[in-house]
Structure 1
Amino acid sequence: MSNAVRKVWGYRYAILFIVWLLYIINYFDRVAVLTFLPFIQKDMNLTPVQVGQIASAFFFAYAVGQVTSGFLADKFGPKRVMNVAIIVFTLVSVVTGFVKNFTQFIALRIGLGLGEAHHFPPSAKAISNWFPYSERGKALSIFNTSNYVGLALVPIILTNLSASLFDGQWRPVFFTLAIPGVIGILLLWLFFKDTPEEMYKKGRISKSELDFINSNKGATLQVTTKGKVNHKTYLKDSTFYVICLMMFCQIGILWGFTTWLSTFLVQQHNFNIKEMGFVSSLPPIISIISILMGGWLMDKFNKMKPIALIAYIGCIPVLWMLGSVNKGNTPMLLTMLLASGFFVAFNSGSLTAALQKRYPSEVVGSVTGIVNGCGQLGAFVTPLVAGYLITVRTGGSFDFTKVFIFFSVLAAIAAVSALFLKEKPVQTNEIVKNAVNNQIV
């Protein structure tokens, strides 16, 4: 096998597959509650505002945990942080099957949020460690498809599991979530290392692949005289704050949309549990194609701004129209759902890749944690605000028109923010020549 072939099919893609699969496991636990939300609401007599609070409690904890997980990944390595995360969110998901009241539900959602928060930044850190600058857009886009594969598969699997094995009940489904959690722990233990250097010592990767990975790390690291990472590299960069705002809007739209989609389909369009499970999977299915397309364009042209503008400008009319589709107009509903899935996801991988390409790998965990934390604050705000914007019609059905207008406004804010992006790698002016531990790339 030639060096060129080994470079394409090296062990770094096994690492990418592992973090991709682990994040799908993460989504089984996360999306389970959202999938059964209209039925949980009915069983526990929850109001729309309480449903919004339950959804938002998760994202508040998730936002806080994103920041700590980034710093922990930089300090202790991705593997340790992800291992603890999987154990925590698996246990919390199983216990959710026993929940009895609103207060318990809030507590469990906070616990789940803290557990799952310590997964994404370490995964992004691992990809930064294992992939050269030239491949990060593609690698991050492939990784980010796990979001949408999870969103596509989980509703179908769990609703069919509930309907065929548990007579339409939702509680027993949560007990089965221990199985994917155990699989994830075993994958990390057996096949994952934080860096290619560690795996090279184990004889799992070739010298040619190691050299290829280290051939181009992108941005240059600024360190202190003691050899420590200088976080001013990104804190003094205005683009960092622009990306934070974009991520707030983008993740806010995604999770506001995802949180309320099953309830929207059941309440506004009268779908049953199996119909809802199938239809709610359509947007993430098209999102898989969309996100890969965006990542490919990112690596080909090395520009994220046009991708972001296409995504956000496309979201504005599509989301606005989706909320006003009349009941019974299924063709229009499906068309708008597919279009929303395309535009909402188009920039997802590219936005994360922009961080990897602009900032040094030594601070990627911290940068990703803070930016994704801002995104999860958006995910905290949007379901909560949506709960207040839902109109309860005579007879108890819901009208989501104002909710989707709100999502369109967020897309417009993101589009304006994208105009101020700078995308070239940060190159610091002060590089200390005697930095220790080979910290300068």
Structure 2
Amino acid sequence: MSEDLKKNIDQDIPGKIKNWRIRIFFTVWVTYMIYYIGRVNLGIAKPLMMAEFDISSTIFGGIGSAFFYAYAFGQFFNGFLGDKLGPRRMVTLGIIVSSGINLIIGVVGQFVWVLGILWGLNGFFQAMGWAPSVKTIANWFPPKQRGKWSGRLGTSYMIGGALAWVIAILITVTFGLTWQFAFIIPGIIMLIIGIINYVSIRNAPEEVGLPTIEEESEGKIEIGDTKEDEYLGFKYTLKAIFSNKTVIFAAFGLFCLNMVRYGITEWLPTLFYFDSAYELTLWKTIAFPVGGAIGALTCTMISDKFLKRRRMPIISILFGLLAITLYIYSLLPPVDLAAGIPMLMLIGFLTFGPHVLLVSTIPMEFGTRKAASSVTGFIDGFGYIGAAISTQVVGIILDTPDNMDMAYLFWIIAALAGCFVLLFNWKSVPKKKEYF
């Protein structure tokens, strides 16, 4: 290659990097958004299935817990595999298998024991999505941009949650189709997006001959040979997890937060089911993830600009405000749309603002790009143990008198516990390491 040609190619590298980053982010964002339509749909179909087959809240709580325990195990296991095998394979495999499970549930979901097994399997394969996606963003975006891009990435599962509810509500309530279509239609969409993801995604810049983010920071902006994203081994990833107390604190924080988040996601539609204005109040619940998307973008920006990348202060403060807001919301009647919609948006803001910092920003910063998937899986795994406990406990609570008040009290205690414990990690900031 002549020197002039090489110079012209090298001058175009910043443009290529920018184009690839836009392509990668958009693909990761859309793919993980679509993951959610194959997992949140049970929350809308649940009250219809309970009424049709006379299934108790306790039993459905167990089915929901099967998903979350399998998801938690899958996060621990698949997080490490995401670093070893690469996000492209893991994310594609997870969404395609999950799509197949949703399609099967649409046919045989009336058998409770079959539903429990399939929904548990769905949890394991759904756990192939998030941790590897975080690693992809960590590989492509430098540290100073990760707060911004992790916040944007977090909106994928919030918009995905809202989209899942919209699709399921339209299918089962607005158009009056059977609950089976709440699984069949998402399954078809997920299969299509899984194929598109595999074609479009690349694990890291070096896989297309671009400089790594470490080389880019050193000014080595030149085209190189294509090569695989290097895996540094199981020992490296274990050290990234257990040698950093912020990762441990984040895991506990997410354990508490997911008790609230998934308690609301799984059971709020059911709490509204027997209300005379069910369809109207059901649409109101979409305010929860919409407020969450605003919180994700806002909280990462605040911690970047005003707290010098310290994440725990804003997380702890928002946990405390979440507890207060949940108490106020518990006093409102379900059909109070004037106050209910803004309050649900605020609850979403206070839930997902800290959530995206715990499951996206902190794993990238404290795990580095080389162990981002493993660290994410560890934190998220503990979070979904909390989700499993909440789903089961609230299911039991709903079969008792005064059930709504007790459910809100359970979520308030969880938020306060997270607020208090994270105060002890108030000053943590990421340290500069060999890999970003």
TM range (shorter): 0.7 to 0.9
Matched to 2:42, the amino acid is V
What is the match of residue 331 of structure 2?
324
Q: Out of 251, 262, 267, which is 2:269 matched to?
A: 262
Deviations 1:387-407 (A, max 9, x none): 1222655xxxx7411101111
What is the match of residue 151 of structure 1?
161
Cα 1:344–1:230, aligned 2, differ >3 Å: closer, same or farther? closer
Q: Out of 418, 425, 428, which is 2:430 matched to?
A: 425
Q: Does structure 1 retain, via aligned residues, the 8 Å contact 2:138–2:368? A: no
Cα 1:143–1:31, aligned 2, differ >3 Å: closer, same or farther? same
Matched to 1:271, the amino acid is A
Larger helix percent: 2
Distance (whole Å) between structure 1 residues aligned to residue 313 and residue 234 of structure 2: 37
What is the match of residue 370 of structure 1?
378
The alignment's TM-score, normalised by the length of structure 1, stands at 0.86
Deviations 1:248-274 (A, max 9, x none): 01122111111011011223x4433x3
What is the match of residue 397 of structure 2?
389
Given the alignment of the two structures, is residue 292 of structure 1 paired with residue 302 of structure 2, yes or no?
no
Cα 1:6–1:399, aligned 2, differ >3 Å: closer, same or farther? same
Cα 1:43–1:230, aligned 2, differ >3 Å: closer, same or farther? closer
What is the match of residue 280 of structure 2?
275
Distance (whole Å) between structure 1 residues aligned to residue 154 and residue 342 of structure 2: 23
Identity score, percent: 25
The alignment's TM-score, normalised by the length of structure 2, stands at 0.87
Cα 1:170–1:93, aligned 2, differ >3 Å: closer, same or farther? same
Structure 1 unaligned residues grouped into runs of 5+: 217-222, 429-438
What is the match of residue 435 of structure 1?
none
Q: Does structure 2 retain, via aligned residues, the 8 Å contact 1:7–1:212? A: no
- C-alpha displacement of 1:38: 1.1
Q: Out of 398, 415, 418, which is 2:419 matched to?
A: 415
Q: Out of 340, 355, 359, which is 1:348 matched to?
A: 355
Cα 1:228–1:303, aligned 2, differ >3 Å: closer, same or farther? closer
Structure 2 unaligned residues grouped into runs of 5+: 1-10, 221-230
Given the alignment of the two structures, is residue 314 of structure 1 paired with residue 302 of structure 2, yes or no?
no
What is the match of residue 142 of structure 1?
152
Q: Does structure 2 retain, via aligned residues, the 8 Å contact 1:7–1:208? A: no
Matches within 5 A, 1:5-404: 6=15, 9-98=18-107, 99-163=109-173, 167-199=176-208, 201=209, 211-212=215-216, 229=236, 231-267=238-274, 269-272=275-278, 274-300=279-305, 301-326=308-333, 328-351=335-358, 352-390=360-398, 392=400, 399-404=403-408
Deviations 1:138-163 (A, max 9, x none): 11111111111012222122221334
- C-alpha displacement of 1:440: 5.8
* Of 293-302 and 155-164, the range deviating more from structure 2: 155-164
Other structure's SS at 1:372 match: helix
Distance (whole Å) between structure 2 residues aligned to residue 161 and residue 233 of structure 1: 45
* Of 55-64 and 230-239, the range deviating more from structure 2: 230-239
How many residue pairs are counted as aligned between the two chains? 412
- C-alpha displacement of 1:368: 0.9
Distance (whole Å) between structure 2 residues aligned to residue 10 and residue 405 of structure 1: 48
- C-alpha displacement of 1:238: 2.5
Q: Does structure 2 retain, via aligned residues, the 8 Å contact 1:291–1:347? A: yes
* Of 6-15 and 84-93, the range deviating more from structure 2: 6-15
Deviations 1:370-414 (A, max 9, x none): 111000101101011111222655xxxx74111011111111111
